[in-house]
């Protein structure tokens, strides 16, 4: 293939850069309310939006976070992954937010997150946060799960240590559980549950007589530890769903509103 043919091929199959879309009240309603919502008046649409706890706005080419001041205090989960967002902003009106994903955007700086005092889950993976624009004080202390994978800031030699030391409630960082050993290394006390989990892992490894002698063994050794951690997390999630189902049964018998998760399914 000569140079002209290559140029023709590139021209024919060239994909245009998507243009940022403005985040508006209409877009929020369109993505989160049933078909036909626009047949209602503005006040009714606003009332329906204010009853929603999970707002989904992923994969919409959104360029800027805006318009959330119209939403009510019931919003706990916000999905903004795979957009064109460059800055974290305008979230201070969502005081009860516990879950926020901004993965796969164009964010360059950690900022404006301390206004979310109840935030437990934050996914900022695969953005553009550099070491120079990484300020750990911008993260709320309430965080339990944080994902920064795929950002340049992860190349810092003490990436895990410095974050674990400052965010004392963190249980998982970059999809890997925070161990009791890591906490002790930065001068923090490990909880009894974390100590027990660590002891169980050590006992299992000793009883199975698996020692990472070579590179292949080390890889399988690490994989096994991660799999056990994942199983514990999955079991915890199953227990949570079981208890939620029990509560919903009680609510049904007493004619109380269902949980938001069950209400969305029905």
pLDDT in tens, 154-186: 999 999 999 999 999 999 999 999 999 999 998
Report which of 119, 171, 127, 122 is spatially closest to residue 153, judged by C-alpha positions: 127
CA 120, CA 169: separation in Å to the nearest integer? 9
Angle 92-97-103 from CA coordinates, rounded to 5°: 90
Report which of 150, 151, 146 is spatially closest to residue 101, judged by C-alpha positions: 146
Tokens of 105: 């955007």
Domain boundary assignment for the chain: 9-178, 210-266
The 3-class secondary structure across 166-215, one letter per residue, is HCCCCCEECCEECCHHHHHHCCCCCCHHHHHHHHHHHHHHHHHCCCCCCH
Q: What is the pLDDT of residue 16?
A: 76
Residue spans of the chain under pLDDT 70: 1-15, 191-266
Coil, helix or strand for 259?
Answer: coil
Look up tokens 């460059």; give the residue.
Answer: 86
> At 246, which helix (H) or strand (E)?
helix 215-254
CA 232, CA 51: separation in Å to the nearest integer? 33
Fold of 9-178: 3.80.10
Model pTM score: 0.70
CA 80, CA 100: separation in Å to the nearest integer? 8
8 A C-beta contact, residue 27 and residue 48 = no
Q: What is the pLDDT of residue 73?
A: 92
CA 100, CA 49: separation in Å to the nearest integer? 18
Q: What is the pLDDT of residue 249?
A: 62
Q: What is the pLDDT of residue 247?
A: 59
**Torsion angle, alpha carbons of 82, 72, 138, 178, to 10:** -70
Q: DSSP class of residue 21? A: B
Tokens of 14: 């060239």
């Amino acid at each position: 293939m000569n140079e002209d043919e290559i140029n023709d091929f590139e021209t024919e199959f060239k994909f245009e850069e998507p243009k940022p879309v403005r985040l508006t009240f209409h877009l929020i309603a369109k993505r989160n309310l049933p078909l036909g919502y626009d047949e209602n008046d503005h006040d009714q649409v606003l009332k329906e939006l204010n009853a929603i706890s999970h707002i989904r706005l992923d994969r919409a080419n959104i360029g800027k976070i805006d318009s959330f001041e119209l939403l009510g205090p019931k919003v706990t989960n916000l999905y903004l992954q795979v957009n064109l967002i460059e800055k974290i902003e305008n979230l201070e009106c969502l005081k009860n937010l516990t879950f926020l994903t901004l993965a796969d955007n164009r964010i360059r700086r950690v900022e404006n997150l301390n206004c979310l005092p109840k935030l437990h889950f934050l996914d900022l993976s695969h953005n553009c946060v550099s070491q120079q624009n990484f300020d750990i004080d911008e993260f709320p202390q309430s965080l339990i799960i944080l994902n920064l994978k795929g950002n340049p800031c992860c190349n810092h030699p003490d990436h895990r240590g410095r974050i674990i030391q400052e965010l004392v409630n963190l249980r998982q960082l970059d999809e890997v559980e925070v161990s009791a050993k890591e906490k002790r290394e930065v001068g923090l006390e490990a909880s009894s549950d974390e100590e027990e989990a660590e002891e169980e892992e050590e006992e299992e490894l000793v009883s199975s007589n698996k020692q990472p002698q070579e590179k292949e063994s080390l890889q399988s050794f690490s994989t096994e530890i991660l799999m056990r951690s994942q199983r514990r997390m999955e079991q915890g999630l199953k227990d949570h769903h079981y208890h939620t189902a029990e509560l919903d049964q009680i609510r049904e018998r007493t004619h109380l509103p269902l949980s938001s998760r069950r209400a969305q399914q029905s």
